[in-house]
A and B are shown apart, each in its own frame.
Chain A
Amino acid sequence: MASTRHIKSKINATQKISQITKAMNMVSASKLRKAERTIKEYRPFIKSVQNTIATILSSNIDVSHKMLEERKVKKTGYLIITTDRGLAGGYNANIYRKFFNDVKLKHKSSDEYFVGVLGSRGFSYLLNKDLKLINKNVINIRDDVQFIDILDLIQKMIDMYIIEEIDEIIVYYNKYMNTLNQQVTFEKILPVSNINGEKSKILYELEPSPQAVLDTLMPIYFQNVIYGFILNAKASEHAARMNAMNNATNNAKEIINKLTVHYNRARQAAITQEITEIVSGASALK
């Protein structure tokens, strides 16, 4: 049996780790609340863009935009939203698994698709895979993610779509269901199939021209749809980390309990041995 001092130090170490994980759990909880608030602030924005586009499309028949037209899919662009930091349970691993499974079924070789990846974890993981990456540098998805962080990649993907290098764009992310449940989901975001905005009854004058307004609006709409996905993914990241840290704290408690039993047993054995020694020493003197 291990010495009591050895067990004691192990208990102490585990206790310290559990304190850290507990603190991380609480940090993630507060960040989750913040992420939810950001989503709430973002919603009216996308809603008004949607409404305006719906109004323009319904009142002008002769406008068109490449981002609204379906075409035969030869090459696909994927956008994968991962995290910057680890310790979020199976958050990133789930995305990779789902993505690679789907890709294996859909494509014959990696020439048929391009991959854009957000988040440094995903970037360093996918860098060594046999993939055609769109971004050559890490794109950070910080906790206070801002629109300008992702702008370059999104613009590049839009450009690729416009010059028909890719014919559709699919996004992979962890959808936030509730704090205990996040689901890896994929959604086709380009071509834009349905803009479910409310059509306004007001007849708008469009300056400089309906086509020009739509040309400005479509990229904005698309960029913000992606921004919305990122905010959602961010919320599920915090939730996933919260759960992972909660589990870690519980596990640490379990280990501490087990070690305490061992510790007490070792202590008792030592006492028993000591008593035996004293008794046998006393009887030898008789």
Chain B
Amino acid sequence: MIKINVVTPLGKLFEEEVNFITIRNADGEQAILKNHIPVVIAINPGYIKLNRKDEILFVTIVGGFLEFSNNIVNVIAQEAEIGRDHDNALKHLEDLRKNRVNENKRKNIDFTKAERELREQIRNISANQL
């Protein structure tokens, strides 16, 4: 069994034991079995397939790398997502990013509106003369 840790800047995402892993990056596919020699693989973007007895999981990664030694895999990634499906994951990560930007924009507008309203109300009740 191989132990796998997935870490992002937000903290630990995932910790599990698997039979073997398959890595897909720009160069193609590659598998790591038990007792593989120590290796560091850049993944940008790509995915890692976790093969377990009964199920297959995909860890989709944007900007990251994988380090293997002593049958422990450490995956360090800027953005990562775990799911049963790889195809949607990349798109999902992109959507996440877009939504975040839009949300920030909307919040700014809302805040500015509220601020202006408050200023107007302060003027109307002339609270500063109190």
Contacts and interface: CB of A to CB of B under 8 A. Distances in A.
B96 A148 contact: yes
A208 B26 CA distance: 9
A207 B7 CA distance: 20
Nearest to B8: A45
Interface of A: 9-10, 13, 41-42, 44-45, 48-49, 52, 56, 120, 138, 140, 142, 146-149, 151, 200, 202-208, 212-213, 215-217, 219-220, 223-224, 227
Nearest to A147: B9
B1 interface: no
A148 B94 CA distance: 10
A130 B74 CA distance: 47
Given A207-B30, A208-B42, A138 B74 contact: no
A13 B127 CA distance: 10
A52 B67 contact: yes
Interface string B1-21: 000000111111000000000
A39 to B, nearest CB: 11
B130 to A, nearest CB: 6
Contacts of A207: 27, 30, 39-42
Contacts of A120: 108
B78 A147 contact: yes
Contacts of A206: 39-41
B2 to A, nearest CB: 16
A220 B39 contact: no
A224 B79 CA distance: 12
Contacts of A56: 40
Given A45-B11, A215-B42, 16 more contacts: A10-B130, A13-B130, A56-B40, A120-B108, A147-B10, A149-B100, A205-B40, A207-B27, A208-B27, A208-B42, A212-B42, A213-B41, A216-B43, A216-B63, A220-B65, A224-B9
Interface of B: 7-12, 25-27, 30, 37-44, 63-65, 67, 69, 74, 76, 78-79, 96-97, 100-101, 104, 107-108, 130
Contacts of A223: 78
Given A140-B107, A147-B9, A205 B78 contact: no
Nearest to B112: A120
Contacts of B78: 147, 220, 223-224
A204 B65 contact: no
A41 B9 CA distance: 8
Contact of B9 (A42, A138, A203, A208): A42
B42 A216 contact: yes
Given A45-B9, A45-B76, A147-B9, A205 B38 contact: yes
Contact of A202 (B43, B63, B69, B107): B69
Contacts of B76: 45, 48-49, 52, 220
Contacts of B108: 120, 138, 140
B70 to A, nearest CB: 8
Contacts of A220: 63-65, 76, 78
B113 to A, nearest CB: 14
21 contacts: A13-B130, A42-B9, A42-B10, A42-B11, A44-B7, A44-B12, A45-B9, A45-B76, A48-B74, A140-B108, A147-B79, A202-B69, A204-B69, A206-B39, A206-B41, A207-B30, A208-B25, A212-B42, A213-B65, A220-B63, A227-B9
